Structure formats: C-alpha cells, structure tokens
Amino acid sequence: MISAKRFEPIALRQARLFESDDLDRTRDQVSRVMQPHRLVPGASGSVRSHMDFVRVGGIGMGALNFGAAMQVDTGHLDDYYLLMFCLTGHADAHVDGQAVAVNQARGMICSPERPFAAMLSADCEQFMLRIDRATVAAHTGANRLVFDRELDLDSAALQPWLAQLRAMATSPELLQCAMQNPKIAVELERLLICLLTTGQRWSDEADLVTPTIAPRCVRKAESFIEERASDAIRLEDIAAAADVPVRTLLAGFRRFRDITPMQYLRDVRLGQARDLLRRAPAGSSVSAIALDCGFLHLGRFAQAYQQRFGESPSETLRRSC
C-alpha cells in the first residue's frame, strides 16, 4: 500500500517557488499561487520557509514548509478545492467548522467557499493540491460538488488516487511533459479527479436544492450580459441594468446559478469565442477573436478556454481552416 509516509515529491523539488526567512514575503509568495491569508507564528524566533509548486492544467500541486509552528487562516476559500496532508509533522485543521487531525495517514479536503484554518507543527511540511472548481465541473458535470472533509490515505478506495498523485509528484519527466503538453495535462486532470471522486465520498449540492425560477433581477442581468458581452462591463453596470444593488445581485446569482455575474459573463464570452473560432475564415487570429469577445488578456483567455473546452483556442481555430 502506498502511503504518505513514503511520499517524497522529488519532481516538485525541482520547482522551488521561493525560500525566505521573512514572514511577509512568505505570505505574499504563497498568496500568488493560493489566495490571500493570515499567518501567525506559534512562537517567537526565526522562520525559514520554502515552497515548491507547479501547475498542471487546472490543478496546482505544492509542498510547503514554514520552518516553525504556524497558524494559517484563509477565511473562505476562493473558487477551488484545497486538499492537504502532511509529508512530515502534523496539523490541526478546521474545515468548514469541523476539526480534522491531519498527518501522514490522514488528510483533508475543503470545498470552495468554505472556511479553512489550521495550526501546523514546527516540523510540518504540507503537501497541497489546489483544484479549480471549473476543472472539477468539467470532468464530473457537477458544479456544486462537496467532498467529505477527511481523507483516509490508508483506505483501499483511495489507493489508486494516491498512486496517480505519487506518479505525478515523483516523476520529473511526467510532470515536465504535462506542463508542456496541454492534452496530457487534461488527461492527468481527468484521471486524478475521476480517481478522487471514485475513492472519496461526495455529494452534489444541486441535488439538495429544490429547483425554483430565478428572480427577475437575475434574468435581467443575464439578458444584459448576453447582449453586451463584448463590451467592457463592470459588476456595477450589470447591477444597474438589473435595477438592484450589487449585493442583491450577487446573492441571487449565488443562490439560483451557483456562480457570480462576472463568471457568467466570462462563460458567455467563452461560448461566443468558441463559436467564432469554429466559423473563422482563413487568416483569422486567436488574439483578434479574443479581443472581439471582450478578453483583454490573451494568456488568461487561453487558460480559461483550455479549462472549459479541453483544448486550446488555436487548436479550435486550426480545425476551422
């Protein structure tokens, strides 16, 4: 049986993100690949932190050691799933209000928009996965999937997932290939997520909600977005078109659409871009089509497109010519 006790992520060791003895720099560097958070050392003295991190498609994989006992508080997670277990040491985590003891045999999963905090031992090196919610939805069809909080790394059901995770983290050749080839990255995404959903209990919140008709403000906002998607639209513009305060609009979208208005705008733009790429005449460029659809940052557009459709914009364009 593969266990975290024998889990040495040698491939990650070649992707050192930072080393620092400055707590503010550590916080800033970790925030770049995760999200803003609060760090409180457990005792006075020097802190020597380091983090290794790579991103494969919609999955970020990292190993982080603060070099001292540390309290971490992210507040509510952004739009991603956080999975964590310890390579060394231990942690006392609080996931969505529930205490979870994290070590080499037991990990945790925090779902999007849930609160997460943890107290890490001085010798703790944590192995983390950050999986975008959109990536999980693309491979499972579930937009509101929620996992059980505790990961039993010794369970037979999770051994295939742990073996695949170990293969990715310990093979520099496989990791490098996935980072260079989007098609391989998508396949590794799919395999890792499918193995996780097979081995770990989960529920789809959408199944627990009684279907209702969205309120008028949400439908007005959607119509406005669909008509003006290529324009430079702000959240305030959408709320004004729906004739409601921003807070009311956000609450309506969260309850009835499970996304924010700006995420809906991005999805509409991506759909329009895909239609244009599929029908593009010879000589068309991805950058011109992206700009026409309201995307000002080509790199972010390409990443979002890849996550949504499983191929790059240029691949879609090549097939149309």
Looking at domain 4-206, what is its CATH homologous superfamily? Jelly Rolls (2.60.120.10)
pLDDT for residue 211 is more than 60: no
pLDDT attached to residue 150: 95
Can you give the pLDDT at residue 141?
78
Confidence (pLDDT) at 139: 86
**Looking at the DSSP assignment, which residues form a beta bridge with residue 148?**
none
pLDDT at residue 318, as a whole number: 87
Tell me, what's the pLDDT at 45? 61
174 C-beta neighbours (distance < 10 Å), count:
16
Least confident of 23-37, 149-163, 196-210, 305-319: 196-210
Question: Quick one: CATH architecture of 218-320?
Answer: Orthogonal Bundle (1.10)
Q: What is the pLDDT of residue 209?
A: 45
pLDDT of 304 over the 50 cut: yes
Average of per-residue pLDDT across 121-134: 95
Q: Which range, 44-48, 127-131, 180-184, has the best average confidence (pLDDT)?
A: 127-131
One-letter amino acid at 312 equals S
pLDDT of 24 over the 60 cut: yes
What local confidence, expressed as pLDDT, does residue 215 receive? 82
pTM above 0.85, yes or no: no
Q: How far apart are the first and last CA of the chain?
A: 50
Residue-wise pLDDT for 245-295, tens only, equals: 998 899 888 888 888 999 999 999 999 999 899 888 888 999 999 999 999
Q: What is the pLDDT of residue 80?
A: 93
Domain residue spans in the chain?
Answer: 4-206, 218-320
User: What integer is the mean pLDDT of 222-227?
Assistant: 93
Q: pLDDT higher for 217 or 144?
A: 217
**Residue 218 confidence (pLDDT) above 60:** yes
Q: What pLDDT, in 10s, does the model give residues 132-183?
A: 998 998 888 777 889 999 999 999 999 999 999 999 999 999 999 998 998 8
